[in-house]
Amino acid sequence: MTTQTLQTTSFLTDFRSMSTFGATPGGGVDRQAATSADGQTRNWFRGLVEGHGFEVRYDQVGNQFALLELVPGAPYIAIGSHLDSQPLGGRFDGAYGVLAGAHAAIRVASLLTSEPQFNIAVINWFNEEGCRFKPSMMGSSVFTGKIPAEQVLATTDPSGTSVREALEAIGTIGDFSLDVAAYLEIHIEQGRSLEDDGLTIGLVESTWGANKYEFVVHGEQAHTGATLIADRQDALLGASALVVAAREVADDYSTDEHMVITSCGEFNVFPNSPVVVASRVNLLVDVRSTDAAVLAAADAELHRRVSLIEQRFNVRISQGASHIWASKAYDAAGLALAASCASALGLPHGVVRTLAGHDSTNMKDIVPTIMLFVPSAEGISHNEREFTSDADMLAGVDLLTEVVSRVVAGEFVQP
């Protein structure tokens, strides 16, 4: 059996093993941040990389670092993504990138033909998904200084469990810190542009801008049968109008050049009784666009409609926490390096933008960053039916290996 065949078999075997943790009947996974399933996956990953000579450490908010020292005292190149998932999520989102990073690092270490300039750190970021604890991209936000660690540790899930308590329960919290010189991430596209264009690799040139808000619609509890319509302050009606308004903003502000996407991804009704007019609804609304001016105009229109909904439906709408990132380009030199590597390997590739947020969204603000995509079948993601073929996954590992080898040799950043 050839070395390449062994590497291929090893990656696919490890991917299938990893996918058993938190496995769901529909073929996906449920590994929400710092649950027992997430903890089991983290421990499995630790065992995998320690078997290849990595040292594993954790920082104060549970980011997991697998360290491979190639040059004692040299800076680190980081490769990362996340092992946590959405409820009933797919097997590929995030987890593929962590495992691909580990296998790329292992290959690079075994194939070194010259003195490397950097060490390698493979990072499993804590709570990228943001479904159990808000906001998303939590671990990388702390790492990049955008959110204080103590704020994160005090954040609670719907049952009242804090991040600190959850991390202590699965034993993946520490005091490690690491400076990195550059960051690389590979991920499934979570869209269908690569599949539609017949491409194997996406070279990510920029993020979409995104404004994500927590809204609370306040009404007054009342009897659904005995209270006249004219006397009602129905929070659910107001919240429903806000959901419709968000969709209308997307329709009205999208252009041929710049699309607007809006979503309402979480909706909690109180007291949620069949015979009670809702007194309160908590919901999340996000607005995204490729263009800063279009995003600003759509956002302003959404907030204007909030005021109209309050007046029309006799409710009060308050805005809580927000999570905002601007449309921003990735490092141009990194994009060119990745394109050169893809061409050298004969992989069909093209330049894309990322609609979704990733930990690289934070990392590109502090260090030179390269973001890569492999195709998602039919663009399906955050769904048990999420799928990327073995061939595309393996092509991504091959490309990441080539990119890492060149970056470690000093082609992207200087030590």
Residues 397 and 392: their CA atoms lie apart, in Å, by 9
Spatial separation of the C-alpha atoms in residues 238 and 243, rounded to whole Å: 9
- How confident is the model at residue 209, as a pLDDT? 86
Task: State CA 275 to chain mean position distance.
Answer: 39
Give the residue range(s) of CATH 3.30.70.360 domains in the chain.
Answer: 209-325
As a whole number of angstroms, the distance between CA 209 and CA 293 comes to 10
- Only one residue has tokens 């959110």, namely 147
Q: pLDDT tens across 310-356, in order?
A: 999 999 999 988 888 788 899 999 999 999 999 999 999 999 988 78
**Total-model pTM:** 0.88
Measured between alpha carbons, how far is 108 from 84 in angstroms, rounded to an integer?
26
**pLDDT of res. 6:** 64
Give the distance from CA 144 to its chain's centroid: 15
For CATH 3.40.630.10, list the domain ranges present in the chain.
3-208+327-408
Considering Cα of 399, then 403, then 406, then 408, what sign does the dihedral take? negative
Length of the chain, please?
Answer: 415
Residue 307: predicted pLDDT: 96
Model pLDDT, residue 3: 63
Per CATH, the homologous superfamily of domain 3-208+327-408 is Zn peptidases (3.40.630.10)
CATH topology for 209-325 is Alpha-Beta Plaits (3.30.70)
∠ at Cα 318 (268, 227), nearest 5°?
A: 65
Checking DSSP bridges between strand 349-354 and strand 55-58, what pairing results, if any? unpaired
Reported as half-sphere exposure (CB side, CA atoms, 13 A), residue 128 has a value of 29
Summarize the chain as % helix, strand, coil (round to 5): 40, 25, 40
Please give the C-alpha separations between residue 165 and each of 51, 133, 135, 156, 192, in angstroms, as whole numbers: 29, 12, 17, 9, 39
**201-207/349-354 β-pairing:** parallel
* CA dist 386 → 193, 196, 298, 354, 390 (Å): 15, 16, 30, 17, 13
Q: Name every residue whose Cβ is closer than 8 Å to that of residue 98 and which is 6 or more positions away in sequence.
A: 45, 80, 81, 82, 83, 122, 123, 124
CA distance 220 to 234: 7
pLDDT under 70 in the chain at which residues?
1-6
